[in-house]
Structure 1
Amino acid sequence: MQVQEQDAANESAARQVAAFLDRSREQIAQRWADAALFRTVFTVSRDEAVEAGKAVVDALAAVAGTGRLEDIAAPGFEGVRDQLGRMASSRARAGLSPAQIADEVAALRVPAVALLRQGFADPDDPQTGDSVLALTVLMGTLRLVVMERALSAGEELIERQRQQLMEVATPVVKLWEGTVAVPLIGTLDSARSQVVMENLLDAIVAQRARYAILDITGVPTVDSLVAQHLMKTVAAARLMGAECIVSGIRPAIAQTIVHLGIDLGSVLTRASLADALAYAITQQDAEDRSSAAAGASRR
């Protein structure tokens, strides 16, 4: 029986909080507009901060109306989830730690609770305590939602930076007319190998390259997985009409390839990038002379 009574009291408190948020949205938003979280993010005008505050209050009212005060996945939060994420990201870019951002969100509770208490004639009334507790729980959930969005935004930023670094670490260089090269440095994994292949194929098309050089002088080790990636890249380049040359195979790597039983017989190799470039230039000169001779004979 006590459990049922407590559940009923909790539901009643949640409804009271929802009604309070609906009728006090303007007052709460005005006070929140002066809080650090809103004031330092919405700098165009104070009205912008007030409108953002109203949107958050509406979301909290919707969540309270469902009684799911502790559910960060409550539908009521969906409308402001991106906005809260942008706010958290803005504060993070300003140099605040996650703990400091959480404290700024927690600070929003104080003016909201103060307004709620003003609506009760007797501060010692059990209903007052239940409503204050319900609003406190709801504001705690808001804090979790903000932190969830902040962490998600941080992960997305890290992934974008990782992708950018990967692209920077795998540049395609034009060495000669019709010849491009990818100087590989560091360990090759599936993700990076995919970037290498895409960048190389794009360069072959853009430069109309007939020869593509994969220089692995800076690759510390070659295992069966790395060898497979190299073979796939060579095959893809050939499909695009370019001959692919692998250069920079050091003695230790050559021994490893032999011990692993990896067959690179179909892959054209040279000892160094300079050797590979010299081969490509020589071959192109021979092809150009042959084409010129063929054209002269037809005339």
Structure 2
Amino acid sequence: MTITAEESSRFAALLDSQSERLIDRWTKVVAASLRGRMTEAELRQQVQELRRGLHAALGHGAFDLAAEESATLRGALAEMSRSRAQQGFTATETAVSVFALKDALVDVLDLRSGDKETLADFVAASGVVDQLGLFTFERYARSREELLAEQAEQLLELSTPVVKLWEGVVAIPLVGTLDSARAQVVMERLLQTLVDTGSPYAIIDITGVPAVDTQVAQHILKTVVAARLMGAECIVSGIRPQIAQTIVALGIEFGDIATKATLADALRHALRMIDKSRRASGTVSGAPNGRGA
């Protein structure tokens, strides 16, 4: 709904002349809807920012939320939506903070008089408030999606830790489903750890992976190839009998990649290879050999 320049001017004048009454009533309605989850002082400050932004947007002819003159108002609405999404408020609780302006307008305007101009002004103002409410809802939804995406990324990182088991040996224990997004995180974190530690061996433990299909196997193979390009060898551990049968049935080939039943077996293998390499180069090994691991 659009309003005329004259209606915008009268709405701006009302926001100016009845500023304190509108802010008081607006703040009280919002505070009641949030049931004490924000202080009245915080709400009053937000309401004042919204009123200032709306007043500025209305003072340039017919109201247009997309216009340059409404930038301050859009910014205030977007910031409120973002902060409410982060604080765990619902979309309804956030939108009420805008729609409560209608209650404040009813309290200020004498609608019972039946004056046509007053009623027309209220209808026009309600249309503006509706636009603000829709904008707020959209920004809240966008902020919520961004927040969930960030949390999902953080969970991915937390669910794929890379640990140093021994000097020259790191391991990445996988738990749960290994999809494309998580496989990318696994590869990035493993490669970065190999760079940081200079480890020649990495163990990819799939004990916690419920099932291995062709897609999961491909993800593992790509990670192994990437690690080899970094000069490190990978050992895949956690090959349980059921997993082994599935791999054979699917015809998946791991080639020359070392596979072990348990993480302990994989660590022993890595230590033997490190010890063998050191002996071949004439270096005395300070780490235990395979018999002692």
Q: How does 1:49-88 map to 2 (within 5 A)?
A: 52-61=46-55, 63-64=57-58, 65=60, 67=62, 76=70, 77-88=73-84
Deviation at 1:113, TM superposition (A): 4.1
C-alpha distance after superposition, 1:60-89 (max 9, x if no partner): 2455456457x6x56524322332224523
1:67 to 1:260, Cα distance in 2 relative to 1, 3 A:
farther
- AA matched with 2:75: G
- Correspondence 1:110 to 2:106: no
1:108 to 1:195, Cα distance in 2 relative to 1, 3 A:
same
Query: Which stretch of the first structure deviates more once superposed, 230-239 or 30-39?
Result: 30-39
Scaled by the length of structure 1, the TM-score of the pair is: 0.78
Tell me how far apart the structure 2 counterparts of residues 15 and 141 of structure 1 sit (CA, whole Å). 17
Q: Secondary structure of 2:281's match?
A: helix
Residues matched between the structures, number: 278
- AA matched with 1:56: L
- Correspondence 1:289 to 2:285: no
Query: Which stretch of the first structure deviates more once superposed, 52-61 or 263-272?
Result: 52-61
Structure 2: runs of 5 or more not aligned: 285-293
- AA matched with 1:78: R
Deviation at 1:212, TM superposition (A): 0.2
Aligned to 2:222: 232
Aligned to 1:146: 136
Q: Identity of counterpart residues, as a percentage?
A: 43
Aligned to 2:204: 214
Q: Secondary structure of 1:213's match?
A: strand
Scaled by the length of structure 2, the TM-score of the pair is: 0.79
1:16 to 6, 10, 13: 10
Tell me how far apart the structure 2 counterparts of residues 197 and 267 of structure 1 sit (CA, whole Å). 16
Tell me how far apart the structure 2 counterparts of residues 221 and 206 of structure 1 sit (CA, whole Å). 31
Deviation at 1:244, TM superposition (A): 0.7
Structure 1: runs of 5 or more not aligned: 1-5, 295-299
Aligned to 2:254: 264
Q: Secondary structure of 1:167's match?
A: helix
Asked if 1 retains the 8 angstrom alpha-carbon contact of 2:46 and 2:80, the reply is no
Aligned to 1:99: 92
Deviation at 1:29, TM superposition (A): 4.1
2:146 to 153, 156, 165: 156
Tell me how far apart the structure 1 counterparts of residues 257 and 63 of structure 2 sit (CA, whole Å). 63
RMSD over aligned Cα atoms: 3.3
Aligned to 2:267: 277
C-alpha distance after superposition, 1:100-135 (max 9, x if no partner): 3433432232223433x26x9x94222111110111
Asked if 1 retains the 8 angstrom alpha-carbon contact of 2:50 and 2:77, the reply is no
1:272 to 1:107, Cα distance in 2 relative to 1, 3 A:
same
Tell me how far apart the structure 2 counterparts of residues 28 and 39 of structure 1 sit (CA, whole Å). 20
Tell me how far apart the structure 2 counterparts of residues 63 and 85 of structure 1 sit (CA, whole Å). 19
Q: Secondary structure of 2:275's match?
A: helix
- AA matched with 1:185: V
